[in-house]
């Protein structure tokens, strides 16, 4: 199987590709999509093929997809970029890649998304069947564009190159991996979380997932047999409180944490039961404390 991976120079992609290469069976190949050859050199040294292209340049995608069996789309314009860039990369680029993949005969497309796309809390852990509800402190172009990409890609599920239903079994299966707050392996994201946690209530929670478990979850979505589309939350078992976020970063607690109230206690908190029950996922690091004890932060 030949798998194309995008977004490989980002925090998630650069940690995912080496783990995917370790997992590939004899004869399997990983190809990375980069904007220039130099960016692909570290992955080529690990044994990956390198394709030069850009999600925002649709004409470059067919060549990158030649002979490809599966796609893992990790590419994203994260929070802090202009809204126009977020929409262009997260929605328009993802959908362009999805259409090009379908037209190239790709059989499986794994899209990486975010739990922020659910929006406001529902008074319980969010499940994959929940529709987006605008709201929450991190709602914005990033979350909205990721949510619209999910919907658009799932609409491509099992459609052939002509856009018709793939009843002949040659359509493209689409699976969505919805990530919680990603950390670990030296990712500065954990320290950066304090920019939000410092103004939260002390008991306010952040749903987490370690890079090793991101890779485990995405690989399960990539290789699990079957042609059913699906959305799967990829998260650990123990959200981190604002107090714990400071403790695990070794930072003193700022004044006022104990005086604040959490306005939406279930914001961003997701259930991982579907991926556990259907794909056998078990977090290698069930909590950030487990990762700390293992020296994996």
Q: How would you classify the pairing of strands 230-234 and 181-183?
A: unpaired
Model confidence over 70-119: pLDDT tens digits?
A: 999 999 998 778 999 999 999 999 999 999 999 999 999 999 999 999 99
Q: Distance between CA atoms of 240 and 248, rounded to whole angstroms?
A: 9
Q: Distance between CA atoms of 112 and 17, rounded to whole angstroms?
A: 14
Q: Distance between CA atoms of 78 and 30, rounded to whole angstroms?
A: 24
Q: Distance between CA atoms of 248 and 236, rounded to whole angstroms?
A: 16
Q: What is the pTM of this model?
A: 0.94
Give strand pairing partners of 108: 70, 173
Model confidence over 183-215: pLDDT tens digits?
A: 999 999 999 999 999 999 999 999 999 999 999
Candidates 3.40.50.720, 3.40.50.80, 3.40.605.10, 1.10.40.30; CATH matching 2-180+210-235+270-283: 3.40.50.720
Q: How would you classify the pairing of strands 29-34 and 70-73?
A: unpaired
Q: Is the model more confident about 171 or about 131?
A: 131
Give the pLDDT mean for 16-40. 95
Q: Distance between CA atoms of 251 and 254, rounded to whole angstroms?
A: 9
Domain boundaries, the chain: 2-180+210-235+270-283
What 3-state class would DSSP assign to 124?
coil
What is the structure's pLDDT at 162? Answer: 52
φ and ψ at residue 28, rounded to 5 degrees: -80, 150
Q: Above 80 in pLDDT, residue 125? A: yes
């Amino acid at each position: 199987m030949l798998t194309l991976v995008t977004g490989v120079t980002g925090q998630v992609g650069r940690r995912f590709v080496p783990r995917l290469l370790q997992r590939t069976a004899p004869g399997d190949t990983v190809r990375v999509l980069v904007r220039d050859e130099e960016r692909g050199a570290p992955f080529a040294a690990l044994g990956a093929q390198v394709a030069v292209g850009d999600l925002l340049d649709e004409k470059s995608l067919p060549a990158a997809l030649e002979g490809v069996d599966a796609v893992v789309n990790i590419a994203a314009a994260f929070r802090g970029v202009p809204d126009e860039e977020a929409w262009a990369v997260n929605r328009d680029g993802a959908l362009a890649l999805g259409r090009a993949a379908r037209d190239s005969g790709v059989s499986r497309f794994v899209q990486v998304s975010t739990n922020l796309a659910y929006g406001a809390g529902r008074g319980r852990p969010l499940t994959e069947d929940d529709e987006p509800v605008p709201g929450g402190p991190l709602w914005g172009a990033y979350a909205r564009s990721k949510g619209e990409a999910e919907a658009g890609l799932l609409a491509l599920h099992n459609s052939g190159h002509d856009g018709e239903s793939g009843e002949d079994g040659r359509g493209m299966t689409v699976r969505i991996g919805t990530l919680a707050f990603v950390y670990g392996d030296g990712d500065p994201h954990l320290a950066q979380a304090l920019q939000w946690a410092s103004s939260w209530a002390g008991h306010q929670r952040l749903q987490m997932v370690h890079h090793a478990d991101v890779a485990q979850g995405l690989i399960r979505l990539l290789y699990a047999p079957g042609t059913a589309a699906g959305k799967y939350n990829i998260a650990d078992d123990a959200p981190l409180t604002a107090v714990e976020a400071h403790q695990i970063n070794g930072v003193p607690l700022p004044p006022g944490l104990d005086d604040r109230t959490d306005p939406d206690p279930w914001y961003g908190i997701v259930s991982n039961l579907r991926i556990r029950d259907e794909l056998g996922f078990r977090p290698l690091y069930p909590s950030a404390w487990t990762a700390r004890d293992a020296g994996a932060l």
